[in-house]
């Protein structure tokens, strides 16, 4: 069983003075990245530790996985992607988003892709990989008309709907829109529902991943129809009954200047009748000279915010299911196992920090998604968050009945920060 938890609030960003130079935070210990041929960057080779720990010379270019930030971070001197080549990624076991930090220029003349894969082909029921930081599409299989649900906070409940993220997927059973325009925290898209019609079955499209690229100087996207892509995956079949498309993922660019004619795309994947929703794109720079529209349209911030959520940012996590503790850093993939439990029902215990409680009678509850690999998608509601002292808030939710097979638990909370 895998658990993923996310914060669904709008996190306040610390604005920089208009005259301040943005610094990416890179120490250059991953060296220069110069891509001259199609390349797969293997995120599973990353060291584990705090993102600002220098990379040893023998591990240059491998990056570092920071469990607290849930990010695979690369700290380059410069980044150059040559024309006509594409950079893709092999997912890390924890499936974090990708963060590229550069001391100098980032020049993208080719393509950088964290796009999701299409759903599995007809009658081959296995999960396909989402982009880094995204979520799987639902399985297809014989015998049930409604199909199995897509994964992620915006996963579709059945085959007739696409995954959601920045916008809702098509279809009556699409998941809800989540996240925020700041793309903080950095997170990818959700999966479409799988098809289980009696005439055949194919998987839903996977969610696009998420990538943040930051430069202490400039980011140049120079070639028309090349650029950065976080598109959702297509359903396993789009010409016959074949499930819903995965939603687009997230792209966030930060620099002192972002310019060029290249593309930024986080579109939803195609489904048979129900496409996935669009992802989120944000550009933060005092000077923005992009000449090609993005899909979806990017939001703008002229004073770049911090790369990572600032100290004291909200957190939300599940800590126990019944009497068993849950891992702080769960594995990715519903086929992995973080915890085994043999019970018909169990209470999920939730902890949160730095979430402002509203004055009574208002309250904040946590949405608890229980998604079965070969079953249904349930949305439950926790008890209201309460102050437990020592800076912690707690809530709980009885899950009755517990699924008997593999399943995921995902959390989401929404609130409005009080006015300063």
With CA atoms as reference, report the closest residue to 16 among 219, 254, 305, 217: 305
- Counted residue by residue, the chain has a size of 420
- Domain assignment present for 3: no
Residue 123 has a pLDDT of 61
- Domain assignment present for 137: yes
What is the tally of structural domains in the chain?
2
Residue 145 has a pLDDT of 59
Same domain for 250 and 328, yes or no, is: no
Same domain for 273 and 334, yes or no, is: no
Mean pLDDT taken over the chain: 90
Same domain for 145 and 102, yes or no, is: yes
What is the value of pTM for the model shown? 0.93
pLDDT in tens, 196-210: 766 667 889 999 999
How far apart, in Å, are the Cα atoms of 39 and each of 74, 112, 130, 254, 281?
15, 10, 18, 24, 24
| Structural domain of 27 | 17-304
Same domain for 232 and 379, yes or no, is: no
- Domain assignment present for 365: yes
Residue 335 has a pLDDT of 85
Same domain for 286 and 345, yes or no, is: no
Provide DSSP, 351-377. Answer: EEESPPPPPTT-----EEEEEETTS-E
Find residue 112's DSSP bridge partners: 87, 228
Cα four-point dihedral sign 99, 100, 102, 105: negative
Residue 273 has a pLDDT of 84
Provide DSSP, 83-100. Answer: TT-EEEEEPPTT-PPEEE
Position 32 pLDDT exceeds 80: yes
pLDDT in tens, 343-367: 999 999 999 999 999 998 999 999 9
Find residue 117's DSSP bridge partners: none
Domain boundary (259, 285, 304) is at 304
- pLDDT tier at 10 (50, 70, 90 boundaries)? very low
Residue 196 has a pLDDT of 72
Same domain for 323 and 268, yes or no, is: no
Same domain for 299 and 408, yes or no, is: no
CATH of the domain at 326: 2.60.40
- Domain assignment present for 126: yes
Same domain for 120 and 90, yes or no, is: yes
Q: Which residue has the higher pLDDT, 237 or 315?
A: 315
Q: Which segment of 135-139, 141-145, 237-241, 357-361 scores lowest on mean pLDDT? A: 141-145
Same domain for 22 and 156, yes or no, is: yes
Enumerate residues 6+ apart whose C-beta is below 8 A from 124: none
Same domain for 324 and 368, yes or no, is: yes
Residue 237 has a pLDDT of 77
- pLDDT tier at 266 (50, 70, 90 boundaries)? very high
Residue 272 has a pLDDT of 83
Q: Which segment of 6-15, 310-319, 357-366, 401-410 scores lowest on mean pLDDT? A: 6-15
Domain boundary (304, 330, 349) is at 304
Q: Which whole number is the average pLDDT over 63-92?
A: 97
CA dist., res. 328 & res. 349, Å (int): 13
Residue 317 has a pLDDT of 94
- Domain assignment present for 5: no
């Amino acid at each position: 069983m895998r658990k993923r938890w996310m914060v669904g609030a709008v996190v306040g960003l610390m604005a920089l003075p208009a005259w301040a130079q943005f610094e990416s935070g890179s120490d250059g210990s991953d060296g220069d990245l110069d891509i001259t041929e199609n390349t797969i960057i293997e995120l599973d080779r990353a060291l584990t530790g705090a993102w600002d720990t220098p990379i040893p010379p023998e591990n240059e270019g491998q990056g570092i996985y920071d469990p607290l930030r849930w990010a695979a971070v690369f700290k380059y001197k410069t980044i150059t992607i040559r024309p006509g080549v594409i950079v893709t990624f092999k997912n890390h076991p924890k499936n974090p988003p990708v963060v590229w930090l550069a001391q100098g220029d980032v020049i993208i003349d080719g393509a950088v892709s964290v796009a999701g894969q299409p759903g599995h082909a007809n009658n081959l029921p296995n999960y396909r990989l989402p982009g880094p930081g995204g979520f799987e599409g639902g399985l297809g299989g014989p015998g049930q008309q409604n199909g199995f649900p897509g994964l992620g906070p915006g996963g579709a409940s059945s085959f007739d709907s696409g995954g959601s993220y920045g916008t809702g997927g098509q279809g009556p059973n699409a998941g809800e829109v989540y996240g925020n325009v700041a793309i903080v925290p950095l997170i990818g898209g959700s999966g479409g529902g799988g098809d289980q019609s009696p005439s055949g079955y194919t998987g839903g499209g996977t969610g696009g991943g998420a990538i943040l690229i930051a430069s202490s100087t400039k980011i140049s996207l120079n070639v028309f129809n090349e650029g950065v892509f976080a598109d959702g995956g297509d359903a396993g079949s789009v010409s016959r009954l074949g499930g819903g498309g995965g939603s687009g993922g997230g792209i966030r660019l930060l620099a002192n200047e972002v310019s060029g004619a290249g593309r930024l795309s986080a579109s939803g994947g195609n489904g048979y009748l129900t496409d996935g929703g669009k992802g989120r794109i944000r550009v933060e720079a005092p000077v923005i000279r992009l000449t090609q529209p993005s899909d979806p349209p990017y939001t703008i911030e002229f004073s770049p915010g911090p790369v990572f959520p600032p100290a004291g940012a909200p957190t939300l996590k599940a800590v126990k299911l019944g009497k068993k503790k849950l891992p702080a850093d769960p594995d990715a993939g519903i086929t992995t196992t973080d915890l085994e439990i043999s019970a018909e029902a169990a209470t999920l215990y939730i902890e949160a920090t730095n979430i402002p409680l509203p004055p009574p009678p208002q309250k904040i509850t946590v949405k608890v998604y229980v998604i079965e690999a070969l079953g249904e998608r349930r949305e439950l509601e926790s008890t209201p968050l309460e102050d437990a002292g020592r800076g912690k808030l707690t809530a709980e939710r009885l899950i009755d009945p517990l699924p008997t097979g593999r399943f995921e638990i995902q959390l989401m909370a929404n609130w409005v920060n009080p006015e300063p």
